[in-house]
Amino acid sequence: MSDTERSNLYIEKLSKLIKKETVSEPGQTDKTKFYEFHDLLRSCFPAVFETCELEDFDGSILLRWRGKNGSKSPVMLMNHHDVVSPGQGWKHDPFSACIEDGIMFSRGVLDNKGGLCCMLQAAEELIESGFTPEGDIYFESACTEETDGAGADAISKELQKRGIRFSLVLDEGGMIMSEPLPGAKGLFAMIGVAEKGNADLKFIARSQGGHASTPGKNTPLVRLGKFMAAVEKSNIFTSEVSPVVVEMFRRIAPHTDGPLKVVFANTDKLKLLLKKVLPAVSATAGAMLRTTLAFTMAKGSDAHNVIPQEAYVIGNMRFSHHQTGKGSIEAVRKFASKFDIETEVLNPGFESAVSDFNSPAFKIIEKAVNECFPGVVTSPYMMTGCSDCRFMSRVSDSCFRFTPFVIDSAQLETIHGKDENVAVENLVPAVDFYKYVISHS
């Protein structure tokens, strides 16, 4: 099959997956649309579903492709099939799989049906060619990644119970980007080796209440306002340059011609310099060094003219590995108490383990990138977002997060936003990437 024929076939399959709306919502009990989506997968990838054993975990699926050699450690490839609600303001119908100038616009093309389609297509082609893997290959796809992660949580616990250890787990994550750091020239495959923990906190301020015509000082909303402004201004969380961040700079800095090249030249002072420079580079770069806290929701009293007896704001905290969830929560609790604000932990979250970028598993991913995307520089990085991969720390020391698509920073911002899009020319090399990983694991 020529590359054009392959591309057309993949576009056709991906379009079918896109057109089936699979928006997930918290507390969703009716999983009908996800089961309909599984039927669609079965029709697009018949050899995979004939060859692999399928297990259902309430709408999330696990496929096991048995290898020739039972004593070899298995490998897991994962990608989820739920998507977030498209919201408003799209220039094309978000479930139409519309292609304009080689770019497909739709909810889920990047996050994460594109990866899912290429992963299963790779297995489909290998099975059709008569290939059997050495060790078992598992494919996992959850329908709860965008909500509470219950599917991947349950699957990882079950696999742990069965005593299975994976030599490699590969989930969605970083992509191939230009300029992952300002001034970097070329394309960089950013492979996530860990992700920060994700906790939700409620900050409560109380008072006697009262009528708005006779306000005292420091009413609950005022205290909350002062507290939030102070969090933004002060460094309440400790910052530390991890070995992952140092390695990322070591690999990317030689390709930059800006100030970062100077930073890199001072390798002995690198950590100290990065601590100063990174927060100034960008919010994302700064977030790799420390815990962050974003205020996302708020509530006061129920009437315009009533001072609240209780007001609160909700904060979403992404905690660093060095300070941990517990340490970060204690730091903010202490800080909030100075404003006479109580801290309640709604969800304590947990941070993933950090996987080794010198491991054989990481090298397989790097080799697959070198093979399918010549000239692209590979680098480990600390993912600031969350993925289902965090649950797989239970069953593997080598959990990596990477989706083999070339995107620019504007496309990155369409994930969870409007006009999510990807160039369809990515599909052929992405299928080749997954074929490489499967056949070299």
Note the residues at the interface with Zn ion (CB under 5 A). Answer: 111-112
User: For residues 374-400, b (16+ Cβ closer than 10 Å) or e, as one string?
Assistant: eebbbbbbbbbbbbbbbbbbbbbbbbb
Of 112 and 141, the one with the shorter C-beta distance to Zn ion is: 112
- Which residue number, 112 or 167, has a Cβ lying nearer to Zn ion? 112
Other CB atoms within 10 Å distance of the CB of residue 202: 15
The CB-of-171 to Zn ion minimum distance in angstroms stands at 9
Q: Which is nearer to Zn ion, 111 or 195 (CB)?
A: 111
Kindly tell me which of 104 and 241 has the beta carbon lying closer to Zn ion.
Answer: 104
Pick between residue 62 and residue 143 the one whose CB is nearest to Zn ion.
143
SS3 423: strand
Q: What is the distance between the alpha carbons of residues 22 and 40, in angstroms, rounded to a whole number?
A: 12
Shortest Cβ 57–Zn ion spacing (Å): 18
Nearer to Zn ion, 230 or 386 (CB): 386
111 vs 153 by CB, closer to Zn ion: 111
Min separation Cβ 145 and Zn ion, Å: 5
Token pair 């991969």 in the structure block, residue: 389
* HSE (side-chain half, CA atoms, 13 Å) at 150: 14
Nearest distance from residue 156's CB to Zn ion, in Å? 17
Amino acid sitting at position 164: I
Q: Closer to Zn ion by CB, 109 or 289: give it.
A: 109
Cis before 8 (ω within 30)? no
Host H or E run for residue 61 = strand 60-65
Is residue 247 packed enough to be buried (19+ CB in 10 Å), middle (13-18) or exposed (0-12)?
A: middle
Query: Cβ-count burial of 10 within 10 angstroms (0-12 exposed, 13-18 middle, 19+ buried)?
Result: buried
Say if CB 191 and CB 380 are below 8 A apart.
yes
Nearest approach in angstroms of CB 376 to Zn ion is: 22
14 versus 201: smaller Cβ distance to Zn ion: 14
Distance CA 421, CA 408 (A): 10
Q: How far is the CB of 23 from Zn ion (least distance, A)?
A: 13
Q: How far is the CB of 167 from Zn ion (least distance, A)?
A: 24
Residue whose CB is less far from Zn ion, 181 or 399:
399
Torsion region of 47: left, alpha or beta (phi above 0 gives left; psi -120 to 50 gives alpha): alpha
| H helix intervals, 31-112 | 32-44, 46-51
Ordered DSSP codes for 4-19: HHHHHHHHHHHHHHHH
For the chain, how many helices (H) and strands (E)? 14, 17
Give, rounded to a whole angstrom, the gap between the first and last alpha carbons of the chain: 25
Minimum CB separation from Zn ion for residue 386, in Å?
9
Give me the least distance between CB of 17 and Zn ion, in Å please: 14
- Token readout for 326 is 């517990």
- In the bound complex, what is the minimum distance in angstroms from residue 415's beta carbon to Zn ion? 8
Q: Which two tokens stand for residue 221?
A: 């909303």
